[in-house]
Structure 1
């Protein structure tokens, strides 16, 4: 077997391995979120956070082995891929989700709130929390990473040119993917850190339901094409 064939086989193996992990991870996410929904305990919330951390740790290893496959994410559905930003969800999506859930709960509890009753949920975000969310959203590195990816894509002529340092260019893509995933995880932690335990639990349930809902809808959409 020649070196290129060996590399292709290793890459294919790593793709299959992560695809299997991806399926298992979503099944486990559903289980840990059901536990969180039922118990509403901090311990269950921490289990959900560890589950997210495990995902990015595994994805980091997969990106080192085959960054192009990770970037394309063939294990994801067409719907998931259509929403991807550097092989995953946009960090600012977390803030949009908080605002959406907060607005919905605020409207459902508006009479109680107007009467001075505190609900303590996401519909009861304090002015200080809202300011901190706004400040944190402005500090995300999303735009900088988007520009870095654009520069990488613009360098395709260098990748294909004579004497091109292909491994160096691919290594840069690995770093971009890892930085994007690190930003996603840090954003998740930061949002949870700005919320009360009750609010954080509601946010993690909502975010998991969004991921699971998109995944489920995407699988139903893709099913006719996978036969």
Structure 2
């Protein structure tokens, strides 16, 4: 395989991500507007908007999965993210538990039944997160002395020098790649299924609030990350 294809895949995803963020901003405007028209008669409109937003996220994960199959190491330190965005990463994405924090801060009218169902989902999700953390720890332990982060950095430096392509299959790196691909795929599945289960618990109006909170947080972190990067550039860091 051409060693330059890894860089081409990264560039392709970065272009996709920039366009995806533009659409994310548009959806945020729609979500915020929908919050002011939460009358019962607008529930169908809310459901239609929710479905479009969830499909928007599905497109992101499908494209991310395509790049991860080529070079999963990119997912742990994405060059298209700022340092601040990378600080929020948990197994190449957001931690599902973060969604429950946003629900708590944006939805204050859940019924007792909704609260009980949400509490059960929180416990279930935390157990799934722990299982994935344990799996990642096993992968790191299997490396021996080098840490997972060092191994990824080492791979990244050789890849940038053209010595290793995303499709390369050195016995150690190849085994690490396959293990990480599985963990990332399972983490993405947990992120997706958690959102789907939340949507089944909340009313359309409540879900609109949550999706707006998610988009606002993501775009705010993105904006602050870019601002900090620009500040560092200006002072010569």
TM-score by length of 1: 0.82
- Please list every run of 5 or more consecutive structure 2 residues that lacks an aligned counterpart in the other structure: 36-44, 152-169
2:73 alignment partner in structure 1: 68
2:220, 2:196 → 1: CA distance?
Answer: 22
Q: Which residue of 2 aligns with 1:107?
A: none
Q: Per chain length, whose mean CA-contact separation is higher, i.e. which structure has more relative contact order (CA < 8 Å, sep 6+)?
A: 2
> Which stretches in structure 1 are left out of the alignment for 5+ residues?
102-121
User: By how many angstroms is 1:46 displaced?
Assistant: 1.2
1:19 aligns with 2:14: yes
Q: Distance in 1 between matches of 2:131 and 2:86?
A: 21
Question: Which residue pairs with 2:99 in the alignment?
Answer: 94
SS in 1 for 2:90: coil
| Native 8 Å contact 1:90 1:184 kept in 2 | yes
Counterpart Cα distance in 2 of 1:210 and 1:131: 26
Task: Give the Cα–Cα distance (whole angstroms) in 2 for the partners of residues 87 and 69 of structure 1.
Answer: 9
8 A Cα contact 2:68 2:75, kept in partner:
yes
Distance 2:195 2:229 in 1: 29
Deviation at 1:44, TM superposition (A): 1.6
SS in 2 for 1:124: coil
TM normalised by structure 2 equals: 0.79
Asked if the contact 1:67–1:170 (Cα under 8 Å) also holds between the matched residues in 2, the reply is yes
8 A contact 2:6–2:70 mirrored in 1: yes
d(CA) in 2 for partners of 1:131 and 1:39?
27
Which residue, 4, 12, 15 being the options, matches 1:9?
A: 4
Q: Which residue of 1 aligns with 2:49?
A: 44
Per the TM alignment, residue 99 of structure 1 is displaced from its structure 2 partner at its CA by 1.1
Q: Which residue of 1 aligns with 2:26?
A: 31
User: Aligned-residue CA RMSD in angstroms?
Assistant: 2.0
Paired position in structure 2 for 1:134: 119
